């Protein structure tokens, strides 16, 4: 098990480093501090993986859009992609220079981990990154990018092609720097209509996966693809070329396993808000997820989305202890012990 957003604002030690850095992006761009934050959850909890501390929007920032964070409003871009000319003029980022702080952080983290657990690298999906690039930040309606999708689909394909290539280059650079697994976060795929999801979200992810160089001296790098709200498309996701599918909390994990069989592993999928509840409730809900999956291989326990900033760190401990206890009991019972 590991936890999406496992290094973050719910940890007091993270908040101290964040205050020291002065801003979120300064923290991301400082390899030493990013390494320190990445390791903090492992110093507190017995987790099975580290995940690089960074942000999915580093790629469009490196493409010249000018990422900044507005207090209370989240990420914003100084120069959003708002015209067909802007799409045509968009250039690929120089990963080696513009995103060197990420690959430098990976090298430091691998050194500090010293083989204790694997390191997961990640990126946003092309569609998810494109939504921020066109909207200029977060959105409730996605009206700008959906207008582009329906009125100028070829222009959106052009944008997604450029972003997909940048994402593939970025993930390949992470692998070269030492990432031992990869995750693609398709946070906003679930806002699309059925056919639009397959064409504008899943297909660009497929192109990214086809462009990845996953064979390394340490073995083949596994890839997880997570679409929030993606329960409608599990069969299609299972065929996209990833090794595992992340499930949000709206999906029944037993039904998901029946639908995809042994084609892929499954990651998930406890509702993050369960961690607001008392430890006894947390134990009950963890048990429910594990028993639903059963004593089968290929389950990576995780939340159904990122951990919330207000969560009590002791409640995370209760979740992890319950995963270990109930998982061992389920598998031991299946083996007749």
Exactly one of 44, 55, 82, 207 is catalytic; which is it?
A: 55
Going by pLDDT thresholds of 50, 70 and 90, the confidence category of residue 202 is: very high
- H or E stretch including 314? helix 313-334
Is 331 known as a binding-site position?
no
Residue 14 near residue 40, CB atoms below 8 Å: yes
Helix (H, G, I), strand (E, B) or coil at 60: helix
pLDDT at 329: 93
Which position has the token pair 């400082």? 30
Within 10 Å of residue 297's Cβ, how many Cβ atoms? 7
Going by pLDDT thresholds of 50, 70 and 90, the confidence category of residue 143 is: very high
> Looking at residue 303, what DSSP letter applies?
E
Going by pLDDT thresholds of 50, 70 and 90, the confidence category of residue 303 is: very high
Is 7 known as a binding-site position?
yes
Evaluate if residue 73 carries a pLDDT over 80. no
Active site residue 18: yes
pLDDT at 74: 83
Phi-psi bin for 298: left (phi > 0), alpha (psi -120 to 50), beta? left
Going by pLDDT thresholds of 50, 70 and 90, the confidence category of residue 26 is: very high
Evaluate if residue 138 carries a pLDDT over 80. yes
Evaluate if residue 192 carries a pLDDT over 80. yes
Q: State pLDDT tens for residues 278-300.
A: 999 999 999 999 999 999 999 99
Is 284 known as a binding-site position?
no
DSSP per-residue string spanning 131-179: HHHHHSB--SS-HHHHHHHHH-HHHHHHHHHHHHHHHHHHHHHHHHHT-
Q: Where do the domains of the chain lie?
A: 12-246, 271-337
pLDDT at 264: 98
Distance CA 154, CA 84 (A): 10
Active site residue 5: yes
Average pLDDT, the chain: 96
Exactly one of 14, 45, 132, 170 is catalytic; which is it?
A: 132
Phi, psi of 148, deg, nearest 5: -60, -45
Distance CA 41, CA 3 (A): 9
Active site residue 10: no
Is 5 known as a binding-site position?
yes
Going by pLDDT thresholds of 50, 70 and 90, the confidence category of residue 335 is: confident
Give mean pLDDT, residues 246-265: 97
Evaluate if residue 50 carries a pLDDT over 80. yes
Evaluate if residue 200 carries a pLDDT over 90. yes
Is 6 known as a binding-site position?
yes
| Chain-centroid distance, C-alpha 235 | 20
Distance CA 331, CA 324 (A): 11
Going by pLDDT thresholds of 50, 70 and 90, the confidence category of residue 185 is: very high
Candidates 1.10.3720.10, 1.10.10.60, 3.40.50.720, 3.20.20.210; CATH matching 12-246: 3.20.20.210
Nearest to 55 by CA among 80, 2, 18: 18
Q: State pLDDT tens for residues 205-243.
A: 999 999 999 999 999 999 999 999 999 999 999 999 999
Which position has the token pair 């299972």? 238
pLDDT at 336: 81
Exactly one of 18, 29, 76, 110 is catalytic; which is it?
A: 18
Peptide bond into 269 cis (omega under 30): yes
Going by pLDDT thresholds of 50, 70 and 90, the confidence category of residue 60 is: very high
Is 9 known as a binding-site position?
yes
Is 168 known as a binding-site position?
no
pLDDT at 334: 86
């Amino acid at each position: 098990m590991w936890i999406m957003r496992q290094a973050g604002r719910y940890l007091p030690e993270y908040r101290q480093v964040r205050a020291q850095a002065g801003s979120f992006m300064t923290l991301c761009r400082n390899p030493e501090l990013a390494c320190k934050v990445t390791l903090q959850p492992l110093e507190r909890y017995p987790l099975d993986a580290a995940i690089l501390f960074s942000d999915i929007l580093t790629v469009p920032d490196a493409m010249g859009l000018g990422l900044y964070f507005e207090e209370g409003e989240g990420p914003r871009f100084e120069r959003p992609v708002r015209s067909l000319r802007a799409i045509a003029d968009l250039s690929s980022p120089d990963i080696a220079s513009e995103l060197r702080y990420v690959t430098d952080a990976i090298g430091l983290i691998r050194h500090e981990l010293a083989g204790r657990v694997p390191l997961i690298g990640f990126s946003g999906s092309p569609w998810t990154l494109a939504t921020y690039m066109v909207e200029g930040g977060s959105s409730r309606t996605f009206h700008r990018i959906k207008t582009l999708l329906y009125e100028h689909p070829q222009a959106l394909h052009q944008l997604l092609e450029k972003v997909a290539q940048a994402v593939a280059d970025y993930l390949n650079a992470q692998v070269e720097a030492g990432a031992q697994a990869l995750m693609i976060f398709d946070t906003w795929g679930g806002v699309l209509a059925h056919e639009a999801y397959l064409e504008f979200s899943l297909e660009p992810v497929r192109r990214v996966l086809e462009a990845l160089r996953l064979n390394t001296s340490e073995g083949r790098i596994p890839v997880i693809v997570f679409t929030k709200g993606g329960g409608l498309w599990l069969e299609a996701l299972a065929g996209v070329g990833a090794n595992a599918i992340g499930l949000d909390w709206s999906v029944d994990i037993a039904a998901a396993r029946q639908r995809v069989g042994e084609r892929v592993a499954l990651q998930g999928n406890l509702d993050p808000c369960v961690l607001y509840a008392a430890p006894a409730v947390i134990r009950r809900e963890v048990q429910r997820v594990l028993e639903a999956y059963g004593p089968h291989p290929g389950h990576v326990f995780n939340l159904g989305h990122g951990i919330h900033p207000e969560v009590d760190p002791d409640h995370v401990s209760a979740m992890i202890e319950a995963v270990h206890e109930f998982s061992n009991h389920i598998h031991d019972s299946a083996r007749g012990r």
